[in-house]
Amino acid sequence: MAEDSILGFLQNNEAISDSLQFAASAGIDHNELENVIKSLRGFEIVDAQEFQKDRWFLKEEGKTYAREGSPEVQLFNAVPPDGISREELQKKVNPTVFKIGSSWAVKKKLVEIGRQGVSRKVEYVEDKIQGFLQQIEKGEVVDEKDLAELKNRKLIEFRPLKGYSLRKGPKYVSKRKKAATDLTREHLLRGDWRDLEFKEYNLSAQVQPIQIGYLQPLLKVRDAIQSIFLQMGFEEMPTNNYVESSFWNFDALFQPQQHPARDSHDTFFLKVPSSTRELPEDYVAKVTRVHESGDYGSLGYRYKWKREEADKNLLRTHTTAVSARMLYRLAQQKSFSPKRYYSIDRVFRNEAVDRTHLAEFHQIEGLICDRGLTLGDLFGVLEDFFARLGMAKLRFKPAYNPYTEPSMEIFSYHEGLKKWVEVGNSGMFRPEMLLPMGLPEDVSVIAWGLSLERPTMILYGIDNIRDLFGPKVDFNVIKNNPICRLGLE
Ligand code: PHE
């Protein structure tokens, strides 16, 4: 409707000199007209020049009076021809009208307020104030002298207003055809596609974000670390069992049965099924012996090893249980071949949950099994692996694990924190672990483990683990976080 009136007017006239006046006389809202003008200008159907002119506008109080009448006239109208008491009058009008209205009505000599009450001094008043205000509201011009009182009473203010002057543009048409966006079956059947104008594709338009799955930061870092292992020639171990027997989780790793980690305060034991059904018996016998009395040159722990303890099912506390299974499997082969194995998967510990600990986390583990490996090989592979993770400066600290000797904690210099932070644990698996499996005596295994959470928190600047994993994770953070650039540098 606004568009038709602009295009129709321009067909018979040279120009629309003032869109504000045009809108007022056509009874169209100027905002609506402005939108149409911008669209027509965009398609070069009209030429539009912007201009600003200052105009009077109603302030809030002015708007009320334009609607309800000036307070003095409202007050006057509330006074009956034969007068009224102040109290009665006060009840008839609202408090602001009474207050402001009575002072103006007295000043303008419309009423008289005496001891007897309030009485009219004239028979009739015309509400000029309301009239002027309504004229201004419609954008009509009001005489300068009539504005004086409105200005004084601060009912109006002077503000700039944007308008347009229009003339035909290079692509002027008296009626705009709506461009078709699709070629439909109906268009083809009717044959009207011949006359249609089709909208051009806007190839630079922003598209809707697509609703797809997003990778959790842990998964992104896992992918990156996985490719580092693959580049270094490692094979993945099958870690698809959260439930493990104590035997593979602890005993096979030469961890004595009284070890505090085997307490329910540290480990989640299963109620159902509470124990494992089968273990390789020959191997169990060798493990029993090495724990109880030692073997292969070891003295053992010298205690009574209990089968029930080894049978207990638990949620694995480390993926080293899987490494033990893999090494045992390797030892059963006819001839030994060297291996590089890795895994990245979930482990469980009965820990107090705080900003850096959960009762479950992901462990990254790597091991190399070959003849004649030394501690020097372990240093070398750790330097290589961690440098690919972006941790070029490493330090090692002697440590203890029941299954490794020597054992070393790994520290990396954190440039952001300006200090050394622990990033992993490592060592050479003990003969008490490897020889009962049946691996040749000259075969050594170097191994290391770290959490996936620690490097992810460092890489993504997350300082509370609950923002990374679990029900409190903000889905928008998952959607918007960047790719992991590990191993790309
Ligand atoms: N199992 C160790 C841990 O849970 C990690 C580790 C793996 C240490 C291999 C040494 C060798 O922390």
- Give pLDDT, residue 489: 43
pTM: 0.62
pLDDT band at residue 141 under the 50/70/90 scheme? confident
Centroid of ligand 1 to alpha carbon of 320 (angstroms): 6
444 pLDDT above the threshold of 70: yes
Distance of alpha carbon 303 from alpha carbon 104, whole angstroms = 107
- Give pLDDT, residue 202: 87
Mutate to test the pocket of ligand 1, among 325, 365, 382 (most ligand atoms within 8 A of CB): 365
Q: Under a CB-based contact definition with an 8 Å cutoff, are residues 10 and 22 in contact?
A: no
- Mean pLDDT, residues 225-236: 96
- Give pLDDT, residue 170: 94
318 pLDDT above the threshold of 70: yes
pLDDT band at residue 414 under the 50/70/90 scheme? confident
- Mean pLDDT, residues 464-478: 89
456 pLDDT above the threshold of 70: yes
What is the residue-wise DSSP string for 282-346? HHHHHHHHHHHT--TT-----S---HHHHHBEEE-S-THHHHHHHHHHHHTSSS---EEEEEEEE
Three-state DSSP state, 211: coil
175 pLDDT above the threshold of 80: yes
SS3 content of the chain, % helix, strand, coil (to 5): 40, 25, 40
Centroid of ligand 1 to alpha carbon of 448 (angstroms): 6
- Give pLDDT, residue 487: 53
Q: Under a CB-based contact definition with an 8 Å cutoff, are residues 443 and 358 in contact?
A: no
For 73-122, how does the pLDDT look when each residue is reduced to its tens digit (9 = 90+)? 999 999 999 899 988 999 999 999 999 999 999 999 999 998 888 999 99
57 pLDDT above the threshold of 70: yes
Centroid of ligand 1 to alpha carbon of 237 (angstroms): 15
Three-state DSSP state, 125: coil
Distance of alpha carbon 313 from alpha carbon 310, whole angstroms = 8
134 pLDDT above the threshold of 90: yes
Q: 10 Å Cβ neighbour count for 62? A: 24
Q: Which residue owns the Cα nearest ligand 1 atom 4? A: 318
Centroid of ligand 1 to alpha carbon of 423 (angstroms): 12
Centroid of ligand 1 to alpha carbon of 368 (angstroms): 13
- Give pLDDT, residue 115: 83
Q: Which of 74-78, 108-112, 439-443, 485-489 is modeled with the greatest confidence?
A: 439-443
Distance of alpha carbon 487 from alpha carbon 485, whole angstroms = 6
Q: Which residue owns the Cα nearest ligand 1 atom 2? A: 449
Residues contacting ligand 1 via CB (< 6 Å)? 318, 320, 365, 401, 404, 425-427, 447-449
pLDDT band at residue 309 under the 50/70/90 scheme? very high
- Mean pLDDT, residues 355-371: 93
Per cent of the chain over pLDDT 70 is 99
Of all atoms in ligand 1, which is nearest to the CA of residue 320?
1
Mutate to test the pocket of ligand 1, among 401, 408, 428 (most ligand atoms within 8 A of CB): 401
Type of residue numbered 340:
R
